[in-house]
Amino acid sequence: MSDSILAELPQGCEVHADHQSLAELATLPEVDCVVSAVVGFAGIRAGYTALSAGKVLAYANKETIVVAGDLLMPLVRPGQLIPVDSEHSAIYQCIVGHRTSDVHALWLTCSGGPFYGMDRAALSKVTAADALAHPTWSMGPKITVDSASLMNKGLEVLEAYHLFEVPIDRVNVLVQRQSRIHSMVEFADGATIAQLGPSDMRIPIQYALSYPERWEAPVPRIDYCDEPEISFGRADEETFGCLALAKEAGHIGGTMPCAMNAANEVANKAFRLGLCGFLDIEGTVRRVMNNTDSVPVESVEQLMETDERAREQARKILGVGEGMA
């Protein structure tokens, strides 16, 4: 931040930067609920310290759970960890009042992104501008590219695995192009409960803040009589290999999801900057995973070291500098 901007700040305003400053904010005594919307691995320490301090964590930073779920989940008390992601908020709402032991499977819905139906030959030619044109959601650039590659859905599979204690192979990805069904829970007796609503993040954000209460709708209501037909499709893990790689990292466990996520963050940014092709994201993640020996997760410091090693590998594979990510 420049000196001129600092000079314009109100008297008494302080500026802090780095991981430790985020952690200090998350543990201030006057704070009851921490909303974490930090993009990527950078939010891990703030989430960990917030839960350690007994704060309610309303989080939109799925990478924290994907990378450090083994550390974070043992800290969580009932009602302390509220997901903000639309899909996991939907599942959370469907499970309220039910026993998690009665859950047979989860159905994570996705729009399929802007490249739904394309083959790999077509994907090899897409640009960052193409990937950023999401059909139904308005999101930040990193998550929008992750949605186009289906890596976002892979991260969400691992997030759901940690949050809801459902085996990875029972967290199913379902393409729902209209983005009206935000996810579903299938119970042992065959009954399935779905959460529907507008494609607007204000609803899950508000639910995370109001839980266990419900406030008035922050968006216009849907007249379901005027809605188009709802369709379903299967996610193509062969064409969009990032989804399969994320699941593989989850099956391996330990520090592998950390390495997978780090490689993806570097490659995602390189693609957005025009420094690599779309399919290079998947290729980079695969090569970093192949070169990583997974070990059990022990600490945040260990994960930060794993993250940096994987980033360095990814930068070498892509031929980009350290300023990348």
Sign of CA dihedral 244, 245, 250, 252: positive
Sort residue 306 into left (φ over 0), alpha (ψ -120 to 50) or beta. alpha
What gap in Å lies between CA 266 and CA 320, rounded to an integer? 9
User: pLDDT tens digit string along 111-144?
Assistant: 998 999 999 999 999 999 999 987 776 678 999 9
Mean pLDDT of the chain: 92
| pLDDT band per the 50, 70, 90 thresholds, residue 2 | low
User: pLDDT tens digit string along 221-239?
Assistant: 999 999 989 999 999 999 9
* pLDDT at position 185: 98
Residues 263-284, mean pLDDT to the nearest whole number: 97
DSSP 8-state code for residue 264: H
* pLDDT at position 8: 79
Go through 221-260 and write b for each residue having 16 or more CB atoms within 10 A of its CB, e for each that does not.
eeeeeeeeeeeeeebbbebbbbbbbbbbbbeebbbbbbbb
Q: Which of helix, strand or coil describes residue 32? A: coil
What gap in Å lies between CA 62 and CA 233, rounded to an integer? 24
Structure tokens at 25: 């904010």
* pLDDT at position 323: 65
* pLDDT at position 70: 95
Structure tokens at 176: 């729902």
Structure tokens at 145: 């590219």
pLDDT at 318 over 60: yes
Residues 175-197, mean pLDDT to the nearest whole number: 96
Q: CB neighbours (10 Å) of residue 85? A: 27
Structure-derived torsion over alpha carbons of residues 288, 291, 294, 300, reported in degrees to the nearest 10: -50
Residues 173-194, mean pLDDT to the nearest whole number: 96
DSSP 8-state code for residue 216: P
